[in-house]
């Protein structure tokens, strides 16, 4: 291979990149590159081909933007040229006319049997007739706007074309610069790329124009063609699978429930059974040692609020529930985060699971939790762990991967073992990120107390749930403030320790 092939001249590189009309693009690329100010150019090929031009040039981001705006313009033209703009209004007439006919029958009956109701029915009939006339006038006015809609569509299309012609050359040159530094990018024109861009653009224009230009006339475009029995069959299959799995693994989940209950009982004994002066004093002392005297003063005021308004026992139950969920989540999350930080394949496997746990709505995964764990506090703890257990894993991985390589290399150069490297170098340097993960896990877990009360968890969430059920605004606000104070106390302790 010659040196020229390895490092082509700019002229030859431009020819290889653009594929067609290289002299035109070479002149424009030099003009744009040599100027320190924005250069106004106009590409007629981009104007004529529109979104297809950007797609065939592998400028897919601009292809999508162009397709969106061109489709909007095409839809407006189709609606104005072929659509019935008054149809949505006229569809309302059917129901109103049926009601009017019923009122006329009632009026005739009232004239014969109940004269005292005649005036009421006449008033109703007059109102309905007025509504019908108003709708007809509005429908006709909408139809009269068809030409305006067509003109607006054409105006938007012209503006889009002008914008495409202006941005085409700078965008293509920017891709050329990226291609020069990364030759693996696709260059030139290829039949497959042209066909893909053309097909996507035309399919979008035609389908959207038919859908909005002829609304209701093409059934397949109104809604997805599906069979309702498919959903029913799949739901039944999932239900049967969950039932059989729960029965076959009952011993496993019973063991988990027993372990969770043991931790929960210990914490409930600690928080609930301990005399309130002792528990409050230790909490204030811990906050003072962690966050300073201002944090201790705030904690004192918050605990006084919980006590005087009768939320002390339920707050302690909430903290016990939260503590169990957070303890298990942190105990499992940090070792898992360490393993994922050291093993990329493991993290590739674990990350979709974390994404699922973090994005799935809480009310959805309550269903399988109830199926496998039943209702009550253990099930609430499992649901809380699913919701709040992901931050500690992610931030542990982030913190360990952020440890400078130079520090680790220096430690290894002095003979540090893997165990010493982990405990004395990696974890101390990643501690701020890990502490942030612990804090987020605790606060997210506390946010689940209301949802967890739906499946039998006690505590402050039960008060909020009752307030929602019986529209007791005062009780709900007071309980919500109590949950807020619990979260802020924990935040002061954890954040203060992190600082």
Q: Which of 94-103, 344-353, 402-411 has the lowest mean pLDDT?
A: 94-103
* Band (89; pLDDT cuts 50, 70, 90): low
Encoded tokens for 338: 């360490």
Query: What per-residue confidence (pLDDT) applies to 386?
Result: 85
Closest to 139 (Cα-Cα) out of 131, 129, 148, 151: 131
Verdict on whether the full-model pTM lies above 0.75: no
Say which residues have a Cβ less than 8 Å from residue 330's Cβ, sequence separation at least 6: 392, 438, 441
Residue 131 — left, alpha, or beta (φ > 0 → left; ψ -120 to 50 → alpha)?
Answer: alpha
**Any idea where the domains of the chain sit in the sequence?**
3-83+148-222, 87-144, 249-498
Closest to 70 measured CA to CA, from 221, 224, 197: 197
pLDDT at 185 > cutoff 60: yes
* pLDDT tens per residue, range 390-445: 899 999 999 999 888 888 888 888 888 888 888 888 888 988 888 888 888 888 88
Yes or no: say if 62 and 171 are a contact pair by the CB < 8 Å rule. yes
What CATH number belongs to 249-498?
Answer: 1.10.3720.10
Apex 118 CA angle, 117 and 123, nearest 5: 105
Over residues 460-483, mean pLDDT: 82
pLDDT band at 3 (very low <50, low <70, confident <90, very high): very low
Q: What per-residue confidence (pLDDT) applies to 2?
A: 40
Q: What is the C-alpha separation between 188 and 194, in angstroms, rounded? A: 11
In this prediction, residue 87 has a pLDDT band, given cuts at 50, 70 and 90, of low
Which tokens go with 397?
Answer: 């991985």
Give per-residue burial for 405-424: e unless 16+ CB within 10 Å, then b: eeeeeebeeeeeeeeebeee
Is the per-residue pLDDT at 5 higher than 70?
A: no
Written as one string, the DSSP assignment of 284-306 is: HHHHHHHH-HHHHHHHHHHHHHH
Q: What are the tens digits of pLDDT across the range 107-153?
A: 788 777 777 777 887 888 888 888 778 877 777 776 777 888 889 99
Quick: pLDDT tens for 276-296. 888 888 888 888 888 788 888
């Amino acid at each position: 291979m010659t040196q020229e092939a390895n490092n082509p001249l700019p002229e030859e590189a431009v020819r290889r990149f653009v594929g067609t009309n290289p002299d035109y693009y070479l002149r424009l690329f030099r003009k744009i590159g040599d100027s320190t100010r924005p250069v106004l150019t106009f590409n007629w090929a981009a104007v004529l081909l529109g979104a297809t031009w950007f797609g065939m040039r592998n400028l897919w981001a601009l292809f999508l933007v162009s397709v969106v705006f061109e489709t909007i313009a095409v839809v407006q033209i189709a609606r104005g040229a072929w659509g019935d703009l008054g149809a949505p209004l006229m569809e309302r007439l059917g129901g109103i006319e049926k009601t009017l006919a019923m009122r006329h029958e009632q009026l005739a009956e009232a004239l014969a049997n109940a004269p005292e109701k005649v005036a009421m029915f006449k008033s109703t009939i007059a109102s309905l007739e007025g509504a019908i006339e108003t709708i007809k006038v509005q429908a006709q006015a909408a139809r009269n706007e068809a030409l305006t809609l067509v003109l607006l569509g054409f105006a938007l299309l012209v503006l889009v074309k002008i914008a495409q012609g202006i941005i085409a050359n700078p965008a293509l040159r920017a891709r050329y610069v990226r291609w020069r530094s990364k030759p693996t990018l696709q260059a030139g024109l290829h039949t497959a790329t042209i066909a893909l861009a053309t097909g996507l653009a035309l399919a979008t224009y035609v389908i959207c124009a038919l859908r909005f230009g002829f609304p209701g006339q093409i059934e397949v475009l109104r809604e997805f063609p599906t069979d309702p029995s498919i959903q029913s069959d799949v739901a039944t299959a999932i239900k049967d699978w969950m039932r059989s799995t729960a029965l076959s693994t009952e011993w496993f989940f019973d063991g988990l429930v027993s372990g969770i209950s043991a931790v929960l009982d210990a914490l409930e004994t600690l928080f609930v059974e301990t005399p309130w002066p002792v528990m409050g004093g230790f909490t204030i002392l811990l906050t003072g040692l962690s966050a300073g005297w201002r944090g201790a003063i705030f904690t004192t005021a918050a605990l006084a609020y919980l006590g005087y308004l009768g939320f002390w026992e339920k707050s302690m139950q909430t903290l016990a529930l939260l503590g169990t969920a957070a303890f298990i989540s942190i105990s499992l999350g940090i070792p898992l985060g360490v393993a994922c930080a050291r093993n990329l394949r493991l993290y590739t496997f674990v990350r979709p699971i974390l994404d699922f746990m973090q994005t799935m709505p809480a009310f959805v995964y309550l269903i399988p939790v109830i199926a496998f764990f039943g209702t009550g506090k253990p099930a609430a703890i499992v649901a809380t762990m699913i919701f709040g257990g992901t931050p500690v894993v992610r931030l542990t991985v982030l913190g360990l991967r952020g440890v400078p390589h130079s520090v680790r290399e220096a430690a290894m150069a002095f003979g540090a073992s893997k165990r010493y490297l982990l405990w004395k170098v990696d974890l101390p340097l990643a501690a701020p990120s890990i502490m942030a993960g612990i804090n987020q896990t605790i606060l997210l877990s506390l946010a689940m107390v209301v949802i967890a009360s739906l499946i039998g968890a006690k505590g402050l969430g039960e008060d909020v749930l009752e307030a929602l059920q019986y529209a007791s605004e005062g009780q709900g606000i007071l309980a919500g403030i109590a949950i807020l104070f619990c979260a802020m106390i924990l935040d002061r302790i954890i954040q203060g320790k992190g600082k």
